Amino acid sequence: MEIKMLRPQGYCAGVITALNKIKEIAKTEKKVYLLGMLIHNKDVCNALETLGITIIDDQNKTRLELLDMIPNDATVCFTAHGVSDAVYEKALQKNLKIYDLSCIHVLEVKNLCKKFLQDGYEILYIGKKGHPEAEGILGLSNKIHLITNKNDLQKIKINCQKIIITNQTTLSIFDCEEIYDAAKLIFPEIKHLNKICNATTIRQEAVLNQDLCDLCIVVGDKLSSNTQKLMKVSTHKGINTILVENLLDLDINLLYNVHKVNITSGASTCKNAVLAIVKFLENFDYDKIETHDKTPYLSYEVL
């Protein structure tokens, strides 16, 4: 089987920074609460729990609501996705010791939004409903309007002449460009600030420019927005594509008649998880497909 790893692989710089910080925090603080998943990677979350970190997460609750589950005077870490000012203020009111692990690119968007709000702008924010990054930005002001697709633009009622459009950092370049173009037709004077982070953009471009293959494997958590977008970009290119969280998640029945494989991964995916899949595929035997054992490839570090 011919296997090609699309570059880059492994954690992006923001994820590496967040992981390094929380490991140091776990060494110095006795009881640490993490407000949501540090990154969208269940394997990482499981590993953090072994360090004594308690993850407070519920997909049906906002960060503000999740704070109620943390006792006063405890230590809390905000995730790489960032939080709104309201969350920060509530944490202070609870007398929590705060460690903010927000990605610098998320903070950049947040600060830009604050600046434009102060200058009298209304903001169209392209994002995924319920995603913690979007939640943090939308919590800044009711003058920030969530746009999940171009049809949402028709529902927006804005009397202000000063409008900007920006986006969640982990989205698809295709989705954003389509919405940008549609917004320009409705609001001709709109200012455009493309804030898809560089790590996300480079991975999407690599997938867009990949050679033809029998199968493209996208490795990453199904909750990860940037991983989902890699899947979408590859499928958009017309390539048979699957998303797996790790080697255990790989259905070997999908490997029948597959001779050329491309592999990419999300910015919150451990490179070791990708290498485990590569090693398994390198030793894959079509004639023994029913007896393949994944166990020898499953021992690796994620932190």
| Residues taking part in catalysis | 133
How far is residue 217's CA from residue 240's CA, in Å, rounded to a whole number? 9
Name the 3-class secondary structure at 219.
Answer: strand
Question: End-to-end alpha-carbon separation of the chain, Å?
Answer: 30
Residue 143's CB is within 10 A of a number of other CB atoms, namely 15
β-strand partners of 33: 54, 76
> In whole angstroms, how far apart are CA 78 and each of 88, 149, 236?
9, 28, 34
- Residue 8 preceded by cis peptide, ω within 30: yes
Name the 3-class secondary structure at 101.
Answer: coil
How far is residue 163's CA from residue 144's CA, in Å, rounded to a whole number? 10
DSSP letters spanning 155-193: G-----S-EEEEE-TTS-HHHHHHHHHHHHHH-TT-EE-
